[in-house]
Amino acid sequence: MMRAAPAWRDRAAISSVYREAKRITLETGILHHVDHIYPIKGLLSCGLHVHQNLRVLEASENIAKSNTHPLGESPALEGMTDLEIRLFIDSMV
């Protein structure tokens, strides 16, 4: 993850997101995670470890999401399986 954390990142803002996840977990009793919207090791692209790429999700949602990418919800890829998307990406390289 450190390679995905640029020098210009706002460490205080990142810490704030992690504190928020902990606060929500304690308040609700439901485990929450900090999710990278654009995964650090995504199939279509790689995101950065910056506060703009972080959000708080219920742990179950985050685990189900796995390394999916927002483009995975793109109409252009609608109906394609993960394997079909991978083969499509590989054919472009």
Q: One digit per residue, pLDDT tens: the chain, 93 residues? A: 667 888 889 999 999 999 999 999 999 999 999 998 888 876 666 789 999 999 999 999 988 887 776 665 555 666 777 777 667 666 655
Longest dimension (CA), the chain: 47
Q: How far apart are CA 69 and CA 84, in angstroms?
A: 15
Per-residue CA distances from 18 to 32, 61, 85, 92 (Å): 10, 16, 32, 37
Helix extents (H) in the chain:
11-28, 59-65, 82-92
Q: How far apart are CA 90 and CA 53, in angstroms?
A: 25
